[in-house]
Amino acid sequence: MRHQILALIFGFGLVVQGYTAQEKLVEPREITPSTCPCVCSGAKPYATADFLWWKAQVNNATFAFNGNGSTASNTNAPRGSFDRPDFTYRPGFKVGLGTKLSHDGWDLFSQYTWLFVSRNHTLSSATPLGGVDALVPMIAYIPFQQNPAGVTSLSSASGAWGLRFNVLDLLLGREFWLSPRLSMKPCAGLKFSWNAQDFNVAMQYATGVTSVKYDMDLSQFGVAMTGAINTSYYLWKHWSIYGNFALSGMWNRIHSLRQNYYTSGGITTLDVNTKSSTHDVTPILEMGLGMRFDTCFSQDRYKWLLEAGWESQIWSNQAAFELMNDTSPGNLSMQGLTLKTGFWF
């Protein structure tokens, strides 16, 4: 009976002060107010577009090296190098559609990312294998039918790598003010990816097998749970430094195909034809840093932004080529300039 009387007195005190316990739960809306544009009722759509100037590469695509001495003549090795495909910057884009809800300023956002890297060949040539500054193959397979002792006269090698990158992000987030000059937007959602890679190597020999060609193809499909935090620190009224960070756990289905062809006496033979499938979960790390200009107008009902920055992504274990000399898959990484604009209607 005493506890019931105390509960009644406490509840009456809350009513006298002008709020109930249920109303007390919504006070954080006042502590972290939503950023503009304002949504009084319903929803407010918005669209974004990004231009990408990115370089994509994998870290396990070395196909040959030189810089060898001669043990027969006790000759020191000259300075050589490892030969990899020519990883260069390529254009790409992102397009996004979203809607900001009147429910506490939450928004739903979807974004598609596309990047295409054509196969760029890198050609290397040096003295035959066994001499000074010899060119040594790194793709560990020689056709045993033609030369069981191993080829000893490699004269040139070329390698090429290509990528078709497609990603769809679906995110739920809320952007709010932590202080008069600092805003934050935590997000959570799903990431879908369907990517393809090609890695082709060709080697020319002076004796035995005339040439050997290695064709390796990857196709990947994945689904990930994603968490992200986007921040903006305002130096002036409309200018800010932004920093974005996202982490995903990607479930992958990767199909890997390898075919080896050797040519001897003008006849080409398919010597190896293998395929494998793997299913695993790998991490994805995304980071971005740059400058932003944004402004709200017409009584904070509309918003426009423009930003420029540098973005980096690391996709672990995505270069799962059947190299036969290294069982561990490599990483796919991307980095480069990102230009973005967006408008809230």
Q: From its phi and psi, is residue 203 left (phi > 0), alpha (psi between -120 and 50) or beta? A: beta
Name residues whose C-beta falls within 8 Å of residue 92's C-beta, 6 or more positions apart in sequence: 52, 53, 54, 113, 114, 115, 116, 165
The Cα–Cα gap between 221 and 36 comes to 37
Confidence check: pLDDT of 2 > 60: no
Chain region(s) in the chain for CATH 2.40.128: 34-344
Greater confidence (82 vs 310) lies with 310
pLDDT digits (tens, 9 = 90+) for 74-115: 667 777 788 889 899 999 999 999 999 988 889 999 999 999
Task: Give the DSSP H/E element, type plus range, for residue 28.
Answer: helix 28-31
pLDDT at 319: 92
228 near 246, Cβ under 8 Å? yes
The dotted CATH code for 34-344 is: 2.40.128
Q: Percentage of the chain with pLDDT > 70? A: 80
Model confidence over 167-203: pLDDT tens digits? 999 999 999 999 989 999 999 999 999 999 999 998 8
User: What is the average pLDDT value for the chain, to the nearest integer?
Assistant: 83
Quote the pLDDT of residue 97: 98
